């Protein structure tokens, strides 16, 4: 509130006509997967995304921005992607306060459907395992130089991580880690489900980003993010064949009261919630190249986390990377056509083993698609995605139509 009051008073006194901008888009999506388990159907069509973006510039140096993005099954707080004010002292020093997209990844700042090539975003961005989508924070940022430009961003504040919050017509995207974990360790066997509601607790964290742009040809950047120790709740389906003799992860279950447990096929079955404390630090780098109509973008991220559960202290390691290439062809009578290819690598801990070992599950995703833009307001996307995960390989088709206004 102090920033909102103070910033206009600091503005320049020369004449300025306030400027207001409002725009938005609506995206529909069709998904089809061959062999997707645990879903009622292999296909679905739905309104997958609807965004409303506004900005108000009451003075030359002050800009207020708000972005609301509707997605099925998201709460209003999750839909409010941005609501912030930025005061520009000069190009090299800006002060931003409020809710904004976490400024650690070029792809994260091009999060919205009309402004990125693909119908699906990289898992580094959608799964939010390395850094949150957005934060309620304060940021100092700026850029210096001309042909060779350096940019920086330092920020700190609070966030509610939308970890594994499903998106797309079927709600499958952003849940890949959870899906493959559950297929490898199905619900009827002993193990964990993934985090079920990670948005209950407010977390605090901060980080920084430093980048360089050379003649608009190549950009390089590196980022760091760290969060405080926070409590997360995990749901877990536990199944015992002989409860009074079973020893789970070194914990003697003989003293447990199983009178409230369900019995299925001579097994004790119960879903319980476990609170875990986790503290993590993420770091990564990115590259972006643009020459004529050809573009390449890639990122690598790694998270070091410390997990405390049941008295165990475990070091966890997450890794993710992708590289995407595209080439834009402009045809006067048709508009813009951009084919693209993307390769992704993802490695996350096996949740069922995380308390006693550092085992990990690794999978890959390959994406091939085309972006067709007959006009500025209309975009059509078609792509095929293929997940490589041993005997659980999975392929799917994504069609998307986006209308902007």
Q: Encode pLDDT of 111-167 as tens digits.
A: 888 989 999 999 999 988 899 999 999 999 999 999 999 999 999 999 987 777 888
pLDDT band of 269, cuts 50, 70, 90: low
Mean pLDDT of the chain: 83
The position carrying tokens 């003697």 is 252
- Taking only the tens place, the pLDDT of each residue in 68-80 is 999 888 888 889 9
CB atoms within 10 A of CB 34: 12
In this structure, of 214-228, 242-256, 307-321, the range with the lowest mean pLDDT score is: 242-256
Please report the pLDDT score of residue 271 as a whole number. 56
Average pLDDT rounded to a whole number, residues 323-346: 95
Comparing CA positions, the residue from 316, 308, 37, 349 lying closest to residue 188 is 37
Q: Tokens standing for 165?
A: 């919050």
Phi and psi at residue 75, to the nearest 5°: -75, 165
In this prediction, residue 280 carries a pLDDT of 86
pLDDT higher than threshold 90 for residue 33: yes
Select the more confidently predicted residue: 10 or 277: 277
Bridge partners, 306 (sequence order): 279, 315
Long-range contacts (CB closer than 8 Å, 24 or more residues apart) made by 105-108 = 105/131, 105/223, 105/284, 105/286, 105/299, 105/301, 106/219, 106/221, 106/286, 106/288, 106/297, 106/299, 107/297, 107/299, 108/133
- Residue 57 — pLDDT band, cuts 50, 70, 90? very high
Q: How confident is the model at residue 27 (pLDDT cuts 50, 70, 90)?
A: very high
Per-residue pLDDT at 43: 94
Q: What pLDDT was estimated at residue 166?
A: 87
Q: Give per-residue pLDDT as tens, 338-369.
A: 999 999 999 987 655 444 445 678 899 999 99
Cα three-residue angle 108-171-202, rounded to 5 degrees: 55
The alpha helices in 195-301, defined as continuous H runs, are: none
pLDDT(100) > 90: yes
Write down the pLDDT at residue 264.
58
pLDDT greater than 70 at residue 284: yes
Q: How confident is the model at residue 182 (pLDDT cuts 50, 70, 90)?
A: confident
Distance CA 122, CA 107 (A): 8
Task: Say how many C-beta atoms besides its own lie within 10 A of residue 48's C-beta.
Answer: 27
Rounded to whole angstroms, the Cα distance separating 221 from 109 reads: 13
- Burial track 336-347 (b if 16+ CB lie within 10 A, e otherwise): bbbbbebebbbb
CA 59 to chain centre: 33
Q: HSE-up of 192 (CA within 13 Å, CB side)?
A: 21
Pairwise pLDDT comparison (199 vs 339), residue with the higher score = 339
Spatial contact of 65 and 55, defined as CB atoms under 8 Å apart:
yes
> Between 247 and 83, where is the model more confident?
83
Q: Between the CA of residue 229 and those of 48, 97, 161, 201, 253, what are the distances in Å?
A: 34, 24, 13, 11, 29
In this prediction, residues 47-53 reach a mean pLDDT of: 94
Judge if pTM exceeds 0.75. yes
Which residue has 């202290």 as its token pair? 313
Whole-number pLDDT of residue 15: 78
* Closest to 172 (Cα-Cα) out of 33, 305, 309, 267: 33
The stretch 196-214 carries a mean pLDDT of 81
């Amino acid at each position: 509130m102090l920033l909102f009051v103070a910033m206009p008073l600091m503005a320049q006194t020369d004449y300025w006509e306030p400027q207001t901008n409002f725009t938005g888009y609506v995206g529909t999506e069709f998904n089809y997967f061959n062999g997707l388990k645990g879903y009622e159907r292999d296909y679905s069509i739905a309104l997958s995304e609807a965004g409303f973006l506004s900005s108000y510039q009451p003075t030359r140096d002050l800009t207020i921005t708000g972005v609301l993005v509707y997605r099925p099954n998201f709460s209003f707080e999750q839909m409010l992607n941005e609501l912030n004010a930025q005061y520009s002292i000069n190009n090299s020093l800006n002060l931003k306060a409020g809710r904004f997209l976490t400024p650690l990844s070029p792809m994260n700042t091009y999060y919205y459907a009309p402004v990125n090539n693909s119908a699906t975003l990289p898992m580094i961005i959608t799964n939010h395992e390395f850094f949150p989508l957005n934060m309620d924070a304060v940021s100092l940022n700026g850029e210096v130089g001309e042909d060779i430009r350096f940019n920086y961003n330092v920020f700190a504040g609070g966030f509610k991580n939308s970890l594994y919050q499903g998106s797309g017509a079927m709600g499958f995207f952003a849940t890949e880690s959870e899906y493959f974990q559950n297929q490898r360790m199905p619900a009827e066997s002993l193990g964990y489900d993934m985090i079920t509601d990670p948005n209950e607790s407010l977390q605090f964290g901060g980080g920084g980003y430093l980048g360089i742009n050379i003649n608009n040809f190549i950009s390089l950047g590196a980022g760091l993010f760290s969060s405080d120790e926070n409590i997360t709740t995990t749901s877990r389906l536990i199944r015992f064949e002989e409860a009074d003799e079973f020893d789970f992860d070194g914990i003697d279950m003989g003293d447990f009261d199983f009178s409230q447990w369900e019995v299925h096929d001579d097994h004790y079955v119960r879903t319980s919630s476990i609170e875990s404390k986790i503290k993590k630090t993420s770091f990564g780098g990115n590259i972006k190249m643009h020459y004529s109509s050809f573009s390449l973008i890639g990122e690598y991220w790694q998270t070091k986390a410390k997990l405390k559960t049941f008295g165990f202290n475990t070091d966890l390691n997450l890794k993710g990377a992708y590289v995407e290439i595209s080439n834009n062809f402009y045809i006067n009578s048709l508009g813009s056509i951009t084919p693209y290819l993307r390769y992704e690598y993802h490695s996350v801990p096996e949740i069922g083993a995380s308390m006693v070992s550092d085992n990990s599950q690794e999978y890959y995703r390959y994406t091939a698609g085309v972006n067709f833009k007959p006009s500025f307001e209309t975009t059509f996307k078609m792509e095929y995605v293929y997940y490589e995960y041993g005997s659980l390989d999975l392929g799917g088709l994504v069609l998307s139509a986006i209308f902007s206004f």
